[in-house]
Amino acid sequence: MSNPISLIFIIISIYFSLPLFTTNSRTIKTNKVLSSSDDSSITYLWPLPSHLTSGNQTLTVDPNLSISLSGNNNAIVTEAFERYKKKIIFKHTSSSGGGTRKLSYDVGKVNVVVNSDNDELQLGVDESYTLLVAKNNGLSIVGEVNIEANTIYGALRGLETFSQLCTFDYGTKTVQIYKAPWVIKDKPRFPFRGLLLDTSRHYYPIDIIKQIIESMSYAKLNVLHWHIIDEESFPLEVPAYPKLWKGAYTKWERYTVEDAADIVDFAKKRGINVMAEIDVPGHAESWGTGYPDLWPSSSCKEPLDVSKNFTFEVLSGILEDMREIFPFELFHLGGDEVNTDCWKSTAHVKQWLQEMNMTTKDAYQYFVLRAQEIAISKNWTPVNWEETFNAFGEKLNPKTVVHNWLGAGVCPKVVAQGLKCIYSNQGFWYLDHLDVPWDQVYDAEPLERITDASEQKLVLGGEVCMWSETADPSNVQQTIWPRAAAAAERLWTSKEAAPISNTSEAALTRLQYFRCLLTRRGVQASPVTNFYARSPPTGPGSCYDQ
C-alpha cells in the first residue's frame, strides 16, 4: 500500500492496539443529560461515524492551522477549509491564540489526500473518508490531522467531522481536541440524504436558502429537493416562456436563472446536489397566470390541460431551460394529488377523452408518462410521488424513482417491482407535522420490511420534507432543526453503529449537543424535546437541557 496516509492509518491502529474499523462501544453507552461535567463516554459527533476508535489524550490546535493538499482540482476543499477555520473552529480566537499564548501546539496542519481529480457531483458519488488525529510526542509518527478520501466530497465530510472534534476551551482560550488519538473510517449508509424545501407556499430569499444549505452540510445531508413551483406561485424565470413567473406572488418574490445557478453552485461547494421539482399535472394552477391556455378553463385551473399539445410544449421548454441550471441526474416531476374531476366537466377536454377512448385515470397516466418521456429525452432520471406508482406502477418507465410519502409499505412494493425508491413517510419525516418528536424521526427506517439485499440497494435513501404552508423565513430553521438531524443520522450511520430504537439518553445527549452546535454556528434550531417543534423554551435553562 503506497499511499502514505493509508500507511499511517495502519500504523496508528496497530500502535494503539485498537480494532482497525470497529465502533467504539462507548459511543452508545447510556448517559445522563449533558451537564457542566462532560462525560467522556459520549462521542459528541453527529451523525455518528460508522467506525471509530478514540483515546484519552487532549490536544491543542494551532490558530495558524494550515492545510496541505495532494491532488489537483481541490479549490472546493481549500475554500471549505478556510470556511471551517475562520468561521467555525477559531471563531473565538485570533491568530495570536488569545489570552494564554502557547509556545507550541499539538496539531498545526491538516493533510488532505484526494485520490480523484473528478469534481462531478452526482448520485452515489463516493463520500467516504478516513480521518486520523494524533499527537507528535515521540511515540506516534504524526502530529497532524490526516484526511484521505477518494473524492473532494468525501474530504468535505471529513472536514465537517474534524470541525466537530475541535472544541474551544474558555479557560486556556485555545481550541482543543479531546479523546485523541482518533481513528475514524466513515461512509454514508445511503447515497440520497435529502431535505425538501417548498418555495411556492412561501418565498425564501437567496440568502435564506443558502443558510439552509450550509446547515445541511453540518449534518451531512447531500440533496436539496427544491420544490420551486406549486399551485400558489411560480417564482422561477423560464426564458423560453417568460410570462410563467407572472404566477409569482409579487414581482419581488422571484428567482432569476442566475439566482438558481448561484444556489446550485453554492450547494456543490458543500457536496450537496439540487434536485428541482415541477409538480405536474396537478399543483400547477400558477402556470396559467401567465399562459391561461394551460388551464382547461377559467373554472378548471388544474390539473393542466391534458388535451393540448401546448401544455407539453411548455413543459418541454421549462425542462430544457432547467437542464441548463440543474446538472443533477434526478428530476422530480411530482404527480401527486391529481383530482381529474373537472376534466370531465370541461367540454373540449371531455371531447378529447372520448376521441382518445380514455378515462380520466387513463389521461392522468398519459400525462405522467409523456412528462417522463420529455424528462428522459433531456437526460434526466424521473422521480414521481407514490400516487403514480399506486395508480399505474406497472406502466411507469423502468428508470422511475418512486418517492414514498403517504405511509408505510410502499417502498417494499416499489423495490419488489424493480424500481428505485426514496423514503419520506409523512408520519415521521414531514417537518411541518410539528407534533412528531425527535425519537420517532430517529427511529423511522427506510428499509422497513425490506430484507432482500438486492432490493435494499434499490432504496436510494430518504428525505425530510419542509412544506411551507406554515413556515417562512421567520421560522423555517426552527422547524427544520434539530429533527432533520435525527433523520440525517439514520441516513448516514450504519445500523450497527446507530441501531433503531437507540433513543437512549446517550443519543438524546448527542442530539442536544448537536443542536447547541447548530446554534453556535448561527442556525436557529429549536430545543430538542419540545412537545411541538419550533416551540420556545418554557423557562430559563441551559441550551443543553431544554
Number of CB atoms found within 10 A of residue 475's CB: 15
For residue 314, give the C-alpha cell: 411548455
Q: Phi/psi of residue 116, each to 5°?
A: -135, 140
Contact 215, 443 (CB under 8 A): no
Residue type, 56: N
The terminus-to-terminus CA distance of the chain in angstroms comes to 49
DSSP 25: G
Give the SS3 label for residue 300: strand
Residue type, 195: L
Annotated catalytic, 337?
yes
Cα separation of 198 and 224, whole Å? 10
Number of CB atoms found within 10 A of residue 72's CB: 10
Number of CB atoms found within 10 A of residue 289's CB: 18
* Strand partners for 182: 133
Contact 231, 203 (CB under 8 A): no
Bond into 47 cis (ω within 30): yes
Strands 174-180 and 166-169: antiparallel
For residue 313, give the C-alpha cell: 410544449
Q: Which of 372, 303, 308 is nearest to 338 (CA)?
A: 303
Bond into 4 cis (ω within 30): no
Distances (CA, A) of 477 to 324, 358, 412, 463, 471: 29, 46, 32, 16, 9
Measured in whole angstroms, the distance separating CA 177 from the mean position of its chain's CA atoms is 27
Cα separation of 121 and 422, whole Å? 19
Give the SS3 label for residue 268: helix
For residue 254, give the C-alpha cell: 422571484
In degrees, to the nearest 5, what angle opens at C-alpha 135 toward C-alphas 132 and 139? 110
Cα separation of 63 and 84, whole Å? 12
For the chain, give the number of residues.
546
In degrees, to the nearest 5, what angle opens at C-alpha 23 toward C-alphas 223 and 127? 25
* Packed helices 505-520 and 206-218: angle between N→C axes, nearest 10 degrees: 140
DSSP 394: G
Catalytic residue among 82, 337, 373, 496: 337
Residues belonging to the active site: 337
